[in-house]
A and B are shown apart, each in its own frame.
Chain A
Amino acid sequence: SQELEQSPQSLIVQEGKNLTINCTSSKTLYGLYWYKQKYGEGLIFLMMLQKGGEEKSHEKITAKLDEKKQQSSLHITASQPSHAGIYLCGADIYGYALNFGKGTSLLVTP
C-alpha cells in the first residue's frame, strides 16, 4: 500500500508566524488531498492536487505538489489561532478511497 509520512508530527507556532507541513509518499501520487481536523471532529476539505508542480491557494493556505509527484507541502502564512488543528494529507488508493498520513498537530499561541 502507499505509505504517507507527514512531518513534523506536531508544531507550536506563535501567532503571525509562517509554517510548513510536509507529506512524502513512497510511490507516485496520482491525487493528493489536504484536510484539516478539529480534535475529535470530522475532516474539512482544504485542497486537492493532481498535477506535478501544481500549486493551489485558499486564503492564507498554499499547497504544492512537486514535479515528481511524491512530495507535497502545505504552507500557512501569518498563522492565526483559527488555524489550529490536525492537518492530514491523503493519497488516493484503489481509485476511490484515501490512504492518510498520521497527521500534523498544529497549535498557534498568542
Chain B
Amino acid sequence: KAGVTQTPRYLIKTRGQQVTLSCSPISGHRSVSWYQQTPGQGLQFLFEYFSETQRNKGNFPGRFSGRQFSNSRSEMNVSTLELGDSALYLCASSSLTSGGTSGGPVGDEQYFGPGTRLTVT
C-alpha cells in the first residue's frame, strides 16, 4: 500500500506570494490533517478534513486555508506569505471512519507524509 504523498517536497517563495501544497492520503483513508512544524513552535495542528468537510481548525490566521476533494486528496493554501510561514508542512491521513468526539481517541493511527519544506524569503 502506498504511503501518504506530498508535493512539492521543497518550495521557495517570496513574501506576499501565495502557495498551494498537495497531499494524497493512503488509499481508503478519508481523514486528512495538516500540521506546521517550526523549530520554535514544534508541531502544530492546522486543520482536519473528513469527506470534503473541514471539521476543525487550529489557531492559525485566515491566510491558511484548505480543502479536500472527493477522492480524499487535500490541498492547503497560504496567502500573503510571511517570513514566519517558513516551515515543514506535514499532512497525515487516518482511516477514522466517523466523526471523532471531543476528548475521545483519534481512533486509528495517523500516518504522516514526508512533508513540504516551505522557505519564504
Interface size class of A (residues with CB under 8 A): 20 to 34
Are the C-beta atoms of B105 and A94 separated by less than 8 Å? no
Contact pick for B110, options A94, A98, A102, CB 8 Å: A98
Cβ of A88 under 8 Å from chain B: yes
Report the bound CA distance from A44 to B99 in whole Å.
24
Known: A40-B88, A102-B42. A97 touches B56 (CB 8 A): yes
Contact pick for A100, options B43, B102, B103, CB 8 Å: B43
Question: Which has the most chain A C-beta neighbours within 10 Å: B106, B107, B111?
Answer: B106
Are the C-beta atoms of A94 and B43 separated by less than 8 Å? no
Known: A43-B90, A43-B112. A96 touches B31 (CB 8 A): yes
Known: A95-B99, A101-B42. A42 touches B90 (CB 8 A): yes
- Number of B positions contacting A (CB below 8 A): 36
B residues neighboring A (CB under 8 Å) = 4, 6, 31, 33, 35, 42-45, 48, 50, 55-56, 58, 88, 90, 92, 94, 96, 99-107, 109-115, 117
Are the C-beta atoms of A45 and B33 separated by less than 8 Å? no
Q: Within the complex, what minimum Cβ distance (angstroms) separates A18 from chain B? A: 26
Q: Within the complex, what minimum Cβ distance (angstroms) separates A28 from chain B? A: 9
Known: A31-B105, A31-B106, A94-B48. A88 touches B43 (CB 8 A): yes
A residues neighboring B (CB under 8 Å) = 30-31, 33, 35, 40-45, 48, 50, 88, 90, 92-103
Are the C-beta atoms of A96 and B43 separated by less than 8 Å? no
Chain A hits for B58, CB < 8 A = 97
Chain B hits for A98, CB < 8 A = 33, 35, 43, 45, 92, 106, 110
Are the C-beta atoms of A93 and B45 separated by less than 8 Å? yes
Known: A41-B115, A95-B103, A95-B104. A33 touches B109 (CB 8 A): yes
Are the C-beta atoms of B33 and A97 separated by less than 8 Å? yes
Are the C-beta atoms of B117 and A50 separated by less than 8 Å? no
Report the bound CA distance from A14 to B90 in whole Å.
31
Contact pick for A96, options B6, B48, B111, B115, CB 8 Å: B48
